[in-house]
Amino acid sequence: MISAKIEYSKKGHNDEFYTPEIAVEMILPFIPKHMTRIWECTAIKESKIVKVLRENGYTVIPTHIKDGCDFLKFEPVDYDLNVTNPPYSIKDRFLKRAFELGKPFMFLLPISTLEGVGRIRMFQNNHIQLIIPDRRFSFFPGRDFGHWFQTSWFTWGLNLGKDMNFITLNRAEVAPRNITYSYTSIMDFYNEIRRAA
pLDDT tens string for the chain (197 positions)?
Answer: 444 443 444 444 555 667 889 899 999 999 999 999 999 999 988 899 999 999 999 999 999 999 999 999 999 999 999 999 999 889 999 999 999 999 999 999 999 999 999 999 999 999 999 999 998 887 666 654 455 678 999 999 999 999 999 999 875 544 444 444 555 555 555 455 555 54
Q: Can you give the length of the chain in residues?
A: 197
The alpha carbon torsion through 168, 86, 33, 176 (nearest 10 deg) reads -30
Q: The pTM is what?
A: 0.78
Whether 174 and 21 have beta carbons less than 8 Å apart is answered as yes
pLDDT of residue 147: 55
pLDDT of residue 80: 98
Q: How far is CA 16 from CA 10, 43, 50, in A?
A: 15, 12, 17
Is CATH 3.30.420 the classification given to domain 2-196? no
CA separation for the pair 85, 106 (Å, rounded)? 8
CA separation for the pair 48, 61 (Å, rounded)? 13
Whether 105 and 83 have beta carbons less than 8 Å apart is answered as yes
pLDDT of residue 10: 43
